[in-house]
Amino acid sequence: MIESGALTTGFAADAELLAWVIPALIRDNADCFLMKLTFLGTRGEIEARTRRHHMHSSLLVAYRGKKVMIDCGLDWLGKFERLHSDAIVLTHAHPDHAWGLRNGASCPVYAPQETWRALPSYKIGDCHVVKNRAPIRICGITFEAFPVEHSILAPAVGYRIVAGHARLFYGPDLLFIHDRVAALTGVQLYVGDGATLTRSFVRKRGDRLIGHATVRTQLGWCAKDGVPRAVITHCGSEIVSGDERKLASELRTMASERGMEAQIAHDRMELVLR
């Protein structure tokens, strides 16, 4: 079961986000046996930004009083510490996902080996390697990394995340998922890549394809693998600079045609998974 606590307003400055998030994290202790998702940021690596899509994509997963931040892009440099996360998990080493950690972190940081190789100068004392398809328990939450095709220089993963009865897949930057059926089977919620809704965003480097799957393609995956709901994050220029109400309506129609629900995430949006 998924409950939405999304706020309808955005924010004008980074400080406003932190002023809202920190009291909310304290309040969450009353619901600590539920998995709560807070979309800290929903903007991809683009110049445009709005009140709804201001910060680089990041998801805060809270469960049983612990908080895990997924991805910490450059927008979060000097700011993420005030969230007091118990751990940080990275999907890959691109600037909008990892460069907020350039000055280090006081909490444990988990990432695939390929990501650590791309961040050799980062002064993180408590670093851990996440192995592909090997579930790891972080703050009482199980993360399983699935390789995804996205970039040659910064190999990426998506995470199947499980806590209690809640199950989701988080893949903010991807062209396709290796072992997709295993990644999505039994998942209540798919959180995916919003770089493009229907327009192809695929490039070829040698014999490799890189880039981003369209939202339409990702909805097709969900429909095939029985995922009932999708939330689109890591929004590209089409969403951030476009008519979001119109695009949201188109997204709902695409999802309905496939027998599921879908929405566009925005900064500060909350969901609760039971």
Can you tell me which residue has the tokens 């706020």?
A: 7
Q: What is the pLDDT of residues 147-194, one digit of tens each?
A: 998 786 778 999 999 999 999 999 999 999 999 999 999 999 999 999
Query: What is residue 267's DSSP assignment?
Result: T
Residue 29 is which amino acid?
N
pLDDT of residue 151: 80
- The CA-based angle 269-263-215, given to 5 degrees, is 125
Looking at the whole model, is its pTM more than 0.85? yes
Q: What's the confidence (pLDDT) of residue 17?
A: 62
Q: What fold is seen in the domain 2-273?
A: Metallo-beta-lactamase; Chain A (3.60.15)
For residue 132, the 8-state DSSP code is B
In this predicted structure, the answer to whether residue 44 has a pLDDT above a threshold of 90 is yes
pLDDT band at 11 (very low <50, low <70, confident <90, very high): very low
Residue 6 has pLDDT above 60, yes or no: no
Distance CA 156, CA 170 (A): 12
Q: How far, in Å, CA of 238 to CA of 199, rounded? A: 10
